Amino acid sequence: MTTSTLKIDSLAYSLLRAAQAVALVRSGTALPLALAKVIAQSNTPVAARGAIQDIAYRAMRGLGRSEVLLSLLAKKQPDPAILHSLLCCALALIAPPDDAAEALPYEVFTVVDQAVTAASSHGDMAHAKGMVNAVLRRFLRERDALLQQALQQPSAVWNYPAWWIAAAQAAYPKQWQAILQAGNSAPPLTLRVNCRQTTIDAYLALLETNGMAATRIGPSAVRLEKPLPVSQIPGFMAGLVSVQDAAAQLAAPLLDAQDGMRVLDACAAPGGKTGHLLELAKIDLVALDSDAKRLPRIEENLQRLRLQATLKTGDAQARYWWDGQLFDRILADVPCTASGIVRRHPDIRWLRRKSDTAQLATLSGQILDNLWRMLRPGGKLLFVTCSVWPQESQAQADAFALRNQARRLDAPGQLLPATGELDDHDGLFYALFQKASD
């Protein structure tokens, strides 16, 4: 059997494609890019993509548990990587971390059968179809004992690398469990209401008219009770709302840009904060990003919102792109480990290495120092990072203030990820600085 003989709508096909994406992640590719690559190479039709994506994300959220189980089930590490990933995908479906609260998505024996079929269809795994069958069936027979044994290891309990768990414990001795658990939760669909076109009360009424339940969780933030494609969100295409986490919605108001000001949004893609800044004030805004391929995404968002900005490709660590005119306000959403948004990007925990924190903190510090030189006296710079590691957040802010004699203004500081009824947001850090007037 070859891959081409698998039915597109079969679980075997979805398992195989998801396994290919997971294998790419384990070799260093971000999951969205991995999925896009697999789908493009296989010419997978739109109808089949949802199942592939769902399985791949489930596998990422349960990878720690699956890998520990595999170490108990197999005498040696399954090889090649695609075989290892196929077994992880199958285990994610028959032994999900939250299976006590969630019905299994497929019948367990169906998963086993289809995993064997997927292995049989691939030249690098066909020889191991018997092993796939044996491993998965053994898990079903010895499920309770195997899970009890696996859950002696923290990576199986929390589904994070051991170093990540240790880092959370060290940084937040009292909150580390809540932080890790929040990262394992399903992310909400939170909207930002465009105050230029409507009010939050009017938009909530529009949702109610369309039979959609929602809760206000911030000044302009609305969380939908049930996530759905943006094409089905009332008023989205007309620019009434944008998708943006509640914590990320704090950035634009904190920067306090006023009409007529010259503003820089550094590291701007995909443009969520860019749009919010323009919704709040009539400003001359430059949206900068180092990757020219990401600028069209910003432009698309602005067109939908009926807003305009100057888009530039440039490295925020350098100044070759700058025209020499000082900015009144600068939003510096700097590169980081993204440890505060793992509930939206479960692959991040497996892509990052312990050493990344120090490396990214060094880069971010250089960016902040460079941008500070472009700020006019009396102007404000907002430092934002979606990390929960102090080296990238609080320690970075303290060091920056000391190096540049920057005055620290009121800002939320470290927001840890939260999943409460009215307090539902990612983990972000905010520090606001003002430059001394001449």
Contact status, residue 189 vs residue 426, Cβ threshold 8 Å: no
DSSP-derived secondary structure letter, 250? G
Torsion of CA 305, 306, 312, 318, to 10 degrees: -50
User: CB burial class (10 A; 0-12, 13-18, 19+) of residue 355?
Assistant: exposed
If you search the block for the tokens 């900005």, which residue do you land on? 309
Query: Cα–Cα distance between 241 and 238 in angstroms, integer?
Result: 8
Alpha-carbon gap, residue 253 to 276, rounded angstroms: 9
* Catalytic hit among 88, 89, 267, 386: 386
DSSP assignment, residue 76? Answer: S
Give the closest residue to 313 by CA, choosing from 298, 325, 332, 328: 298
- What region does 245 belong to: left with phi over 0, alpha with psi -120 to 50, or beta? beta
Instruction: State the DSSP code for 125.
Output: T
Calculate the dihedral angle through the C-alpha atoms of 267, 272, 278, 284, rounding to the nearest 10 degrees. Answer: 20
- Verify whether residue 386 is a known catalytic residue: yes
Q: Residue with structure tokens 């939260």?
A: 418
CA distance 113 to 393: 48
Q: How far is CA 315 from CA 251, 287, 289, 388, in A?
A: 21, 12, 7, 24
Cα 270 from Cα 210, distance rounded (Å) = 28
- End-to-end alpha carbon distance in the chain: 75
Give the residue numbers marked as catalytic.
386
